[in-house]
Structure 1
Amino acid sequence: MAKIFITGSSDGLGLLAAKALLAQDHKVFVHAKNEQRAKDLNAELPNASAVLIADLANIDEVKQLAKELNSFGRFNAIIHNAGISSGELFDVNVLAPYILTAEIETPNRLIYLSSSMHKGGSMLKNEAEIPNISYSDSKFLLTLLMDYVAKIYPKTYVNAVDPGWVPTKMGGQSAPDDLQKGYETQLWLATSEEDAAKVSGKYFFHQQQQKPHSEITNTDFQQKLITICKNRSGVELSKAK
Protein backbone atom coordinates (compact mmCIF):
# COMPACT_ATOMS: atom_id res chain seq x y z
CA MET A 1 0.00 0.00 0.00
CA ALA A 2 1.47 3.34 -1.07
CA LYS A 3 0.79 6.81 0.35
CA ILE A 4 0.14 9.17 -2.56
CA PHE A 5 -0.76 12.85 -2.91
CA ILE A 6 -2.39 14.25 -6.08
CA THR A 7 -2.77 17.95 -6.81
CA GLY A 8 -5.84 19.12 -8.70
CA SER A 9 -7.88 16.06 -7.79
CA SER A 10 -11.37 17.56 -7.59
CA ASP A 11 -12.11 16.78 -11.25
CA GLY A 12 -10.63 15.48 -14.51
CA LEU A 13 -7.61 13.22 -14.59
CA GLY A 14 -6.69 13.93 -10.98
CA LEU A 15 -10.06 12.72 -9.70
CA LEU A 16 -9.97 9.64 -11.95
CA ALA A 17 -6.45 8.81 -10.75
CA ALA A 18 -7.52 9.19 -7.12
CA LYS A 19 -10.52 6.90 -7.61
CA ALA A 20 -8.38 4.24 -9.29
CA LEU A 21 -5.71 4.35 -6.56
CA LEU A 22 -8.34 4.15 -3.80
CA ALA A 23 -9.84 1.12 -5.57
CA GLN A 24 -6.39 -0.48 -5.29
CA ASP A 25 -6.40 0.23 -1.51
CA HIS A 26 -3.68 2.87 -1.55
CA LYS A 27 -3.72 5.75 0.94
CA VAL A 28 -4.66 8.72 -1.21
CA PHE A 29 -4.46 12.37 -0.20
CA VAL A 30 -6.34 14.72 -2.51
CA HIS A 31 -6.41 18.44 -3.16
CA ALA A 32 -9.04 21.04 -3.98
CA LYS A 33 -8.79 24.74 -4.77
CA ASN A 34 -11.37 25.96 -2.25
CA GLU A 35 -13.79 24.97 0.51
CA GLN A 36 -16.71 24.20 -1.81
CA ARG A 37 -14.66 21.93 -4.04
CA ALA A 38 -13.23 20.25 -0.95
CA LYS A 39 -16.73 19.59 0.37
CA ASP A 40 -17.77 18.06 -2.97
CA LEU A 41 -14.58 16.00 -3.06
CA ASN A 42 -15.15 14.69 0.47
CA ALA A 43 -18.56 13.48 -0.63
CA GLU A 44 -17.21 11.88 -3.80
CA LEU A 45 -14.14 10.26 -2.20
CA PRO A 46 -15.15 9.33 1.37
CA ASN A 47 -12.25 6.88 1.57
CA ALA A 48 -9.57 9.50 0.85
CA SER A 49 -7.07 9.90 3.70
CA ALA A 50 -7.42 13.69 3.66
CA VAL A 51 -8.69 16.51 1.47
CA LEU A 52 -6.32 19.48 1.46
CA ILE A 53 -7.22 22.97 0.29
CA ALA A 54 -5.01 25.49 -1.52
CA ASP A 55 -5.31 27.91 -4.40
CA LEU A 56 -2.17 27.01 -6.36
CA ALA A 57 -2.00 30.54 -7.78
CA ASN A 58 -1.44 31.82 -4.22
CA ILE A 59 2.18 31.37 -3.10
CA ASP A 60 1.36 31.56 0.62
CA GLU A 61 -1.36 28.93 0.28
CA VAL A 62 1.01 26.62 -1.60
CA LYS A 63 3.60 26.97 1.18
CA GLN A 64 0.93 26.19 3.79
CA LEU A 65 -0.15 23.15 1.76
CA ALA A 66 3.42 21.85 1.87
CA LYS A 67 3.49 22.24 5.68
CA GLU A 68 0.21 20.36 6.03
CA LEU A 69 1.47 17.54 3.83
CA ASN A 70 4.68 17.22 5.83
CA SER A 71 2.58 16.70 8.97
CA PHE A 72 1.44 13.38 7.49
CA GLY A 73 5.00 12.09 7.08
CA ARG A 74 6.84 11.01 3.97
CA PHE A 75 4.88 10.10 0.86
CA ASN A 76 5.67 7.26 -1.51
CA ALA A 77 4.58 9.30 -4.52
CA ILE A 78 3.38 12.79 -5.41
CA ILE A 79 1.54 13.43 -8.66
CA HIS A 80 1.68 17.06 -9.78
CA ASN A 81 -1.51 16.81 -11.78
CA ALA A 82 -3.05 20.29 -11.38
CA GLY A 83 -2.91 22.58 -14.36
CA ILE A 84 -4.78 25.38 -16.07
CA SER A 85 -4.96 26.37 -19.74
CA SER A 86 -5.34 30.11 -19.24
CA GLY A 87 -4.87 32.71 -16.53
CA GLU A 88 -2.00 32.51 -14.05
CA LEU A 89 -0.21 29.83 -16.04
CA PHE A 90 3.26 30.24 -14.58
CA ASP A 91 2.18 30.29 -10.94
CA VAL A 92 -0.15 27.29 -11.19
CA ASN A 93 1.59 25.11 -13.79
CA VAL A 94 5.22 25.79 -12.87
CA LEU A 95 5.75 27.68 -9.62
CA ALA A 96 3.37 25.63 -7.46
CA PRO A 97 5.07 22.34 -8.42
CA TYR A 98 8.44 24.02 -7.79
CA ILE A 99 7.43 25.16 -4.29
CA LEU A 100 5.86 21.82 -3.36
CA THR A 101 8.89 19.93 -4.64
CA ALA A 102 11.20 22.14 -2.60
CA GLU A 103 9.16 22.20 0.61
CA ILE A 104 7.68 18.70 0.91
CA GLU A 105 9.82 15.89 2.31
CA THR A 106 11.20 14.14 -0.78
CA PRO A 107 9.05 11.15 -1.81
CA ASN A 108 10.16 7.96 -3.56
CA ARG A 109 8.50 9.03 -6.79
CA LEU A 110 7.57 12.34 -8.40
CA ILE A 111 5.33 12.62 -11.44
CA TYR A 112 4.74 15.90 -13.30
CA LEU A 113 1.91 16.21 -15.81
CA SER A 114 3.29 17.72 -18.99
CA SER A 115 1.68 17.86 -22.44
CA SER A 116 2.70 17.16 -26.02
CA MET A 117 2.20 20.91 -26.45
CA HIS A 118 5.37 21.51 -24.45
CA LYS A 119 7.23 20.82 -27.69
CA GLY A 120 5.91 24.14 -29.00
CA GLY A 121 6.96 26.02 -25.87
CA SER A 122 10.06 28.07 -25.19
CA MET A 123 12.19 29.45 -22.39
CA LEU A 124 11.45 32.73 -20.63
CA LYS A 125 13.82 35.54 -21.54
CA ASN A 126 13.17 37.22 -18.19
CA GLU A 127 10.65 37.44 -15.35
CA ALA A 128 8.78 40.27 -17.07
CA GLU A 129 7.51 37.72 -19.62
CA ILE A 130 5.70 35.64 -16.98
CA PRO A 131 2.23 37.22 -17.47
CA ASN A 132 2.39 36.57 -21.23
CA ILE A 133 3.53 32.95 -21.42
CA SER A 134 1.44 30.42 -23.32
CA TYR A 135 0.16 27.06 -22.11
CA SER A 136 2.85 25.41 -24.26
CA ASP A 137 5.51 27.54 -22.59
CA SER A 138 4.26 26.58 -19.13
CA LYS A 139 4.44 22.88 -19.93
CA PHE A 140 7.90 23.31 -21.47
CA LEU A 141 9.04 24.97 -18.23
CA LEU A 142 7.44 22.24 -16.11
CA THR A 143 9.20 19.52 -18.12
CA LEU A 144 12.45 21.48 -17.79
CA LEU A 145 11.88 21.51 -14.02
CA MET A 146 11.29 17.75 -14.03
CA ASP A 147 14.65 17.10 -15.69
CA TYR A 148 16.42 19.37 -13.18
CA VAL A 149 14.75 17.67 -10.20
CA ALA A 150 15.70 14.25 -11.57
CA LYS A 151 19.34 15.36 -11.49
CA ILE A 152 19.32 16.70 -7.93
CA TYR A 153 17.15 13.90 -6.47
CA PRO A 154 19.12 10.81 -7.58
CA LYS A 155 17.31 8.47 -5.16
CA THR A 156 13.84 9.46 -6.39
CA TYR A 157 12.14 8.34 -9.59
CA VAL A 158 11.25 11.65 -11.25
CA ASN A 159 9.32 11.67 -14.53
CA ALA A 160 6.92 13.65 -16.72
CA VAL A 161 3.76 12.38 -18.40
CA ASP A 162 1.87 13.50 -21.48
CA PRO A 163 -1.67 12.27 -20.71
CA GLY A 164 -2.83 12.95 -24.26
CA TRP A 165 -5.63 15.17 -25.45
CA VAL A 166 -8.43 13.63 -23.43
CA PRO A 167 -12.11 14.57 -22.96
CA THR A 168 -11.92 16.39 -19.62
CA LYS A 169 -13.19 19.87 -18.73
CA MET A 170 -9.87 21.26 -19.94
CA GLY A 171 -9.55 19.04 -23.02
CA GLY A 172 -13.16 19.40 -24.17
CA GLN A 173 -15.63 16.64 -24.96
CA SER A 174 -14.44 16.28 -28.56
CA ALA A 175 -10.87 15.41 -27.52
CA PRO A 176 -9.76 12.27 -29.40
CA ASP A 177 -7.54 10.42 -26.91
CA ASP A 178 -8.51 7.65 -24.47
CA LEU A 179 -9.57 9.02 -21.06
CA GLN A 180 -8.52 5.90 -19.14
CA LYS A 181 -5.08 5.88 -20.75
CA GLY A 182 -4.87 9.56 -19.80
CA TYR A 183 -4.42 8.67 -16.13
CA GLU A 184 -3.07 5.11 -16.18
CA THR A 185 0.55 6.15 -16.77
CA GLN A 186 0.54 8.33 -13.65
CA LEU A 187 -0.76 5.39 -11.59
CA TRP A 188 1.83 3.07 -13.10
CA LEU A 189 4.72 5.44 -12.41
CA ALA A 190 3.45 6.04 -8.87
CA THR A 191 3.03 2.41 -7.84
CA SER A 192 4.51 -0.14 -10.27
CA GLU A 193 7.49 -2.31 -9.37
CA GLU A 194 8.18 -2.99 -13.06
CA ASP A 195 11.68 -1.99 -14.13
CA ALA A 196 10.20 0.13 -16.93
CA ALA A 197 8.49 2.35 -14.34
CA LYS A 198 11.50 2.64 -12.01
CA VAL A 199 13.43 5.14 -14.11
CA SER A 200 14.09 8.86 -13.83
CA GLY A 201 14.30 11.95 -15.99
CA LYS A 202 12.01 10.45 -18.62
CA TYR A 203 8.96 11.66 -20.53
CA PHE A 204 6.10 9.18 -21.01
CA PHE A 205 3.01 8.81 -23.15
CA HIS A 206 0.78 5.79 -22.50
CA GLN A 207 3.50 4.01 -20.48
CA GLN A 208 6.04 4.40 -23.29
CA GLN A 209 9.06 6.66 -23.17
CA GLN A 210 8.94 9.44 -25.75
CA LYS A 211 11.43 12.08 -26.83
CA PRO A 212 10.62 15.43 -25.23
CA HIS A 213 11.69 18.87 -26.46
CA SER A 214 15.47 18.72 -26.96
CA GLU A 215 16.03 21.77 -24.75
CA ILE A 216 14.57 20.31 -21.54
CA THR A 217 18.06 19.09 -20.64
CA ASN A 218 19.59 22.54 -21.20
CA THR A 219 21.37 23.30 -17.92
CA ASP A 220 21.54 27.04 -18.59
CA PHE A 221 17.76 27.13 -19.07
CA GLN A 222 17.29 25.05 -15.94
CA GLN A 223 19.42 27.34 -13.80
CA LYS A 224 17.59 30.39 -15.15
CA LEU A 225 14.21 28.83 -14.37
CA ILE A 226 15.29 27.86 -10.86
CA THR A 227 16.50 31.41 -10.22
CA ILE A 228 13.21 32.88 -11.46
CA CYS A 229 11.19 30.49 -9.29
CA LYS A 230 13.36 31.23 -6.24
CA ASN A 231 13.04 34.98 -6.73
CA ARG A 232 9.27 34.80 -7.20
CA SER A 233 8.57 32.44 -4.29
CA GLY A 234 11.36 33.04 -1.79
CA VAL A 235 11.80 29.25 -1.73
CA GLU A 236 15.05 27.49 -2.55
CA LEU A 237 15.05 24.11 -4.25
CA SER A 238 18.07 22.19 -3.05
CA LYS A 239 19.10 18.55 -2.78
CA ALA A 240 16.65 15.94 -1.54
CA LYS A 241 15.50 16.07 2.08
Structure 2
Amino acid sequence: MARILVTGSAQGIGRQTAADLVGLGHEVVVHGRDDARGRAALDAVPGAAGVVVGDLSSLASTRALAQSAGAYDVVVHNAGVGGDGKRETTVDGLSRIFQVNVLAPYVLTALLPAPQRAIYLSSGLQASGRLDLDDPQWERRRWDGMQAYCDSKLADVLLALWVARRSPGTVSNAVDPGWIRTAMGGRGAPGSPEEGADTQVWLATSDEPAAVASGRYLKGRREQQPNPAARDERLQDRLVELCARLSGVAPAA
Protein backbone atom coordinates (compact mmCIF):
# COMPACT_ATOMS: atom_id res chain seq x y z
CA MET A 1 0.00 0.00 0.00
CA ALA A 2 1.36 3.40 -1.01
CA ARG A 3 0.68 6.78 0.58
CA ILE A 4 -0.36 9.10 -2.24
CA LEU A 5 -1.17 12.82 -2.51
CA VAL A 6 -3.39 13.99 -5.37
CA THR A 7 -3.60 17.76 -5.74
CA GLY A 8 -6.76 19.35 -7.08
CA SER A 9 -8.90 16.36 -6.17
CA ALA A 10 -12.28 17.98 -5.45
CA GLN A 11 -13.52 17.34 -8.98
CA GLY A 12 -12.66 16.14 -12.46
CA ILE A 13 -9.62 14.03 -13.26
CA GLY A 14 -8.11 14.59 -9.82
CA ARG A 15 -11.19 13.27 -8.06
CA GLN A 16 -11.31 10.24 -10.35
CA THR A 17 -7.60 9.58 -9.84
CA ALA A 18 -7.98 9.70 -6.07
CA ALA A 19 -11.08 7.49 -6.12
CA ASP A 20 -9.41 4.89 -8.32
CA LEU A 21 -6.35 4.80 -6.07
CA VAL A 22 -8.54 4.34 -2.99
CA GLY A 23 -10.33 1.53 -4.81
CA LEU A 24 -6.98 -0.21 -5.28
CA GLY A 25 -6.38 -0.10 -1.53
CA HIS A 26 -3.94 2.79 -1.27
CA GLU A 27 -3.76 5.47 1.41
CA VAL A 28 -4.83 8.55 -0.49
CA VAL A 29 -4.76 12.15 0.72
CA VAL A 30 -6.92 14.55 -1.24
CA HIS A 31 -6.46 18.30 -1.63
CA GLY A 32 -8.67 21.37 -1.91
CA ARG A 33 -7.80 25.02 -2.22
CA ASP A 34 -9.85 26.02 0.84
CA ASP A 35 -11.82 24.35 3.63
CA ALA A 36 -14.98 24.07 1.55
CA ARG A 37 -13.16 22.47 -1.38
CA GLY A 38 -11.29 20.22 1.01
CA ARG A 39 -14.56 18.97 2.47
CA ALA A 40 -15.91 18.53 -1.05
CA ALA A 41 -12.85 16.44 -1.95
CA LEU A 42 -13.31 14.22 1.11
CA ASP A 43 -17.01 13.80 0.36
CA ALA A 44 -16.28 12.98 -3.27
CA VAL A 45 -13.68 10.31 -2.46
CA PRO A 46 -15.09 7.94 0.17
CA GLY A 47 -12.28 6.10 1.87
CA ALA A 48 -9.71 8.88 1.46
CA ALA A 49 -7.22 8.84 4.33
CA GLY A 50 -7.26 12.61 4.82
CA VAL A 51 -7.25 16.01 3.24
CA VAL A 52 -4.78 18.86 2.96
CA VAL A 53 -5.83 22.43 2.22
CA GLY A 54 -3.85 25.06 0.37
CA ASP A 55 -4.51 27.73 -2.23
CA LEU A 56 -2.04 27.13 -5.04
CA SER A 57 -2.54 30.68 -6.31
CA SER A 58 -0.83 31.95 -3.14
CA LEU A 59 2.85 31.35 -2.49
CA ALA A 60 2.38 31.63 1.26
CA SER A 61 -0.45 29.09 1.20
CA THR A 62 1.46 26.72 -1.09
CA ARG A 63 4.53 26.84 1.13
CA ALA A 64 2.39 26.22 4.22
CA LEU A 65 0.72 23.28 2.49
CA ALA A 66 4.06 21.73 1.59
CA GLN A 67 5.45 22.22 5.08
CA SER A 68 2.46 20.60 6.78
CA ALA A 69 1.45 17.89 4.32
CA GLY A 70 3.94 15.22 5.36
CA ALA A 71 5.70 12.62 3.24
CA TYR A 72 4.32 10.52 0.38
CA ASP A 73 5.40 7.61 -1.73
CA VAL A 74 3.69 9.19 -4.74
CA VAL A 75 2.66 12.77 -5.55
CA VAL A 76 0.26 13.40 -8.41
CA HIS A 77 0.49 17.08 -9.42
CA ASN A 78 -2.99 17.25 -10.89
CA ALA A 79 -4.25 20.73 -9.95
CA GLY A 80 -4.48 23.26 -12.73
CA VAL A 81 -6.49 26.09 -14.27
CA GLY A 82 -7.50 26.80 -17.85
CA GLY A 83 -6.74 29.71 -20.13
CA ASP A 84 -10.10 31.25 -20.95
CA GLY A 85 -10.80 34.92 -20.44
CA LYS A 86 -8.62 37.85 -19.50
CA ARG A 87 -5.27 37.78 -17.77
CA GLU A 88 -5.68 37.30 -14.03
CA THR A 89 -3.05 37.96 -11.42
CA THR A 90 -2.67 36.41 -7.99
CA VAL A 91 -2.07 37.94 -4.58
CA ASP A 92 1.62 37.63 -5.43
CA GLY A 93 1.19 39.70 -8.59
CA LEU A 94 1.86 36.76 -10.91
CA SER A 95 -0.11 35.34 -13.82
CA ARG A 96 -2.64 32.94 -12.29
CA ILE A 97 -2.11 30.34 -14.99
CA PHE A 98 1.64 30.33 -14.48
CA GLN A 99 1.43 30.34 -10.70
CA VAL A 100 -1.11 27.52 -10.33
CA ASN A 101 0.02 25.34 -13.22
CA VAL A 102 3.79 25.74 -12.96
CA LEU A 103 5.04 27.57 -9.89
CA ALA A 104 2.89 25.67 -7.38
CA PRO A 105 4.06 22.20 -8.48
CA TYR A 106 7.62 23.52 -8.44
CA VAL A 107 7.23 24.73 -4.84
CA LEU A 108 5.64 21.46 -3.76
CA THR A 109 8.42 19.53 -5.51
CA ALA A 110 11.06 21.58 -3.75
CA LEU A 111 9.55 21.48 -0.25
CA LEU A 112 7.86 18.08 0.08
CA PRO A 113 10.10 15.13 0.99
CA ALA A 114 11.11 13.51 -2.28
CA PRO A 115 8.58 10.83 -3.26
CA GLN A 116 9.42 7.57 -4.98
CA ARG A 117 7.21 8.62 -7.90
CA ALA A 118 6.07 12.03 -9.15
CA ILE A 119 3.46 12.58 -11.85
CA TYR A 120 2.88 15.97 -13.50
CA LEU A 121 -0.35 16.56 -15.41
CA SER A 122 0.31 18.18 -18.77
CA SER A 123 -1.84 18.32 -21.91
CA GLY A 124 -1.60 17.56 -25.57
CA LEU A 125 -1.62 21.33 -25.98
CA GLN A 126 1.98 21.36 -24.72
CA ALA A 127 2.86 20.69 -28.35
CA SER A 128 1.82 24.28 -29.13
CA GLY A 129 3.77 25.74 -26.21
CA ARG A 130 6.22 28.53 -26.92
CA LEU A 131 7.60 29.18 -23.46
CA ASP A 132 9.09 32.68 -23.22
CA LEU A 133 11.07 32.81 -19.98
CA ASP A 134 11.90 36.46 -20.62
CA ASP A 135 8.19 37.28 -20.27
CA PRO A 136 6.63 34.32 -18.43
CA GLN A 137 3.91 36.49 -16.86
CA TRP A 138 2.76 37.98 -20.18
CA GLU A 139 3.51 41.49 -18.96
CA ARG A 140 4.90 42.75 -22.28
CA ARG A 141 3.04 40.61 -24.79
CA ARG A 142 -0.61 40.95 -25.71
CA TRP A 143 -2.50 38.46 -23.56
CA ASP A 144 -3.46 35.17 -25.19
CA GLY A 145 -5.03 32.89 -22.58
CA MET A 146 -4.92 29.75 -24.69
CA GLN A 147 -1.26 30.27 -25.54
CA ALA A 148 -0.48 30.94 -21.89
CA TYR A 149 -2.16 27.64 -21.03
CA CYS A 150 -0.21 25.78 -23.73
CA ASP A 151 3.00 27.33 -22.41
CA SER A 152 2.19 26.25 -18.84
CA LYS A 153 1.59 22.66 -19.93
CA LEU A 154 4.92 22.64 -21.77
CA ALA A 155 6.51 23.96 -18.58
CA ASP A 156 5.01 21.03 -16.66
CA VAL A 157 6.77 18.60 -18.99
CA LEU A 158 10.02 20.53 -18.56
CA LEU A 159 9.64 20.32 -14.78
CA ALA A 160 8.92 16.58 -14.84
CA LEU A 161 11.96 15.91 -17.01
CA TRP A 162 14.14 18.16 -14.85
CA VAL A 163 13.14 16.16 -11.76
CA ALA A 164 13.89 12.91 -13.59
CA ARG A 165 17.32 14.22 -14.52
CA ARG A 166 18.26 15.80 -11.21
CA SER A 167 16.56 13.43 -8.74
CA PRO A 168 17.37 9.87 -9.81
CA GLY A 169 15.67 8.50 -6.70
CA THR A 170 12.30 9.72 -7.99
CA VAL A 171 10.56 8.21 -11.00
CA SER A 172 9.20 11.39 -12.60
CA ASN A 173 6.95 11.59 -15.64
CA ALA A 174 4.49 13.94 -17.36
CA VAL A 175 1.09 12.81 -18.60
CA ASP A 176 -1.36 13.99 -21.23
CA PRO A 177 -4.69 12.71 -19.85
CA GLY A 178 -6.49 13.45 -23.10
CA TRP A 179 -9.53 15.61 -23.79
CA ILE A 180 -11.79 14.60 -20.93
CA ARG A 181 -15.36 15.43 -19.93
CA THR A 182 -14.73 17.66 -16.91
CA ALA A 183 -15.55 21.23 -15.95
CA MET A 184 -12.40 22.28 -17.81
CA GLY A 185 -12.72 19.90 -20.75
CA GLY A 186 -16.42 20.52 -21.32
CA ARG A 187 -19.36 18.22 -21.97
CA GLY A 188 -18.37 17.61 -25.58
CA ALA A 189 -15.02 16.05 -24.76
CA PRO A 190 -14.71 12.47 -26.00
CA GLY A 191 -12.92 10.96 -23.00
CA SER A 192 -14.37 9.87 -19.66
CA PRO A 193 -12.84 10.80 -16.28
CA GLU A 194 -11.87 7.14 -15.87
CA GLU A 195 -9.88 7.32 -19.11
CA GLY A 196 -8.33 10.61 -18.00
CA ALA A 197 -7.13 9.10 -14.72
CA ASP A 198 -5.92 5.75 -16.03
CA THR A 199 -2.30 6.57 -16.88
CA GLN A 200 -1.68 8.42 -13.62
CA VAL A 201 -3.11 5.54 -11.57
CA TRP A 202 -0.94 3.06 -13.50
CA LEU A 203 2.20 5.17 -13.05
CA ALA A 204 1.45 5.57 -9.35
CA THR A 205 0.92 1.90 -8.59
CA SER A 206 2.24 -0.51 -11.20
CA ASP A 207 5.58 -2.29 -10.98
CA GLU A 208 5.60 -3.06 -14.69
CA PRO A 209 8.91 -1.98 -16.27
CA ALA A 210 7.09 0.53 -18.47
CA ALA A 211 5.51 2.15 -15.39
CA VAL A 212 8.74 2.64 -13.44
CA ALA A 213 10.83 4.21 -16.21
CA SER A 214 11.53 7.90 -15.61
CA GLY A 215 11.82 11.03 -17.69
CA ARG A 216 8.96 10.51 -20.14
CA TYR A 217 5.81 12.13 -21.50
CA LEU A 218 2.96 9.66 -21.76
CA LYS A 219 -0.60 9.30 -23.00
CA GLY A 220 -2.69 6.16 -22.71
CA ARG A 221 0.18 4.41 -20.88
CA ARG A 222 2.40 4.89 -23.93
CA GLU A 223 5.41 7.14 -24.26
CA GLN A 224 4.87 10.05 -26.65
CA GLN A 225 7.29 12.54 -28.12
CA PRO A 226 6.83 15.86 -26.35
CA ASN A 227 7.39 19.32 -27.74
CA PRO A 228 11.11 19.29 -28.69
CA ALA A 229 11.70 22.18 -26.28
CA ALA A 230 10.85 19.87 -23.38
CA ARG A 231 14.12 17.96 -23.89
CA ASP A 232 16.22 21.14 -23.81
CA GLU A 233 18.17 20.76 -20.57
CA ARG A 234 19.22 24.39 -20.59
CA LEU A 235 15.59 25.45 -20.84
CA GLN A 236 14.70 23.05 -18.02
CA ASP A 237 17.38 24.64 -15.85
CA ARG A 238 16.28 28.16 -16.74
CA LEU A 239 12.67 27.36 -15.84
CA VAL A 240 13.70 25.98 -12.45
CA GLU A 241 15.92 29.00 -11.82
CA LEU A 242 13.00 31.29 -12.66
CA CYS A 243 10.65 29.39 -10.34
CA ALA A 244 13.20 29.53 -7.55
CA ARG A 245 13.59 33.28 -7.99
CA LEU A 246 9.86 33.96 -8.14
CA SER A 247 9.01 31.75 -5.16
CA GLY A 248 12.04 32.31 -2.97
CA VAL A 249 12.23 28.52 -2.65
CA ALA A 250 15.47 26.79 -3.64
CA PRO A 251 15.26 23.60 -5.69
CA ALA A 252 15.40 20.37 -3.75
CA ALA A 253 18.97 19.17 -3.34
Range of TM-score over shorter length: over 0.9
Contact 1:119 1:212 in 2 (8 A): yes
1:134-193 deviations in whole A, cap 9, x for unaligned? 100000111111111110111211000000001100000001234322101000000101
Give the deviation of 1:128 after TM superposition.
Answer: 5.9
Q: Cα deviation per residue 1:183-222 (whole Å; 9 max; x = unaligned)?
A: 0100000010101101001011010111101111112211
Matched residues, number: 236
Identical aligned residues as a percent = 38
Which residue of the partner structure matches residue 130 of structure 2?
A: 122
Q: Does 1:232 align with 2:246?
A: yes
Q: CA deviation at 1:122?
A: 1.3
What is the aligned partner in structure 2 of residue 93 from structure 1? 101
Alpha-carbon distance between aligned partners in 2 of 1:127 and 1:223, rounded to the nearest angstrom: 16
* Structure 1: gaps of 5 or more residues: none
Residue 145 in structure 1 maps to residue 159 in structure 2: yes
The amino acid that maps onto 1:147 is L
RMSD between superposed Cα atoms in Å: 1.4
Equivalent residue number for residue 79 of structure 1: 76
AA in 1 matched with 2:131: M
3-state SS, counterpart of residue 134 of structure 1? helix
Q: In 1, are the aligned partners of 2:19 and 2:46 still within 8 Å (CA)?
A: no
Equivalent of residue 236 in structure 2, options 211, 217, 222: 222
1:210 is matched with which residue? Answer: 224
For residue 15 of structure 1, what is the aligned residue in structure 2? Answer: 15
Counterpart contact for 2:109–2:252, Cα < 8 Å: no
Could you report, residue by residue, the CA deviation over 1:8-64 in whole angstroms, capped at 9, with x for unpaired residues? 000000001111111111000010011111222233334211111111010010001
**TM-score normalised to structure 2 length:** 0.89
Aligned AA (2:76): I
Q: Which runs of 5+ in 2 are unaligned?
A: 89-95
Q: Pick closer, same or farther for the CA change 1:63–1:209 going to 2, 3 Å.
A: same
Distance 1:181 1:149, change over 3 A: same
TM-score, normalised to structure 1, is 0.94
Q: Measure, in 1, the Cα distance between the counterparts of 2:68 and 2:240.
A: 24
Structure 1 runs of 4+ off > 4 angstroms? 130-133
Q: Is 2:43 the counterpart of 1:43?
A: yes
Q: Return the offset for 1:91.
A: 0.3
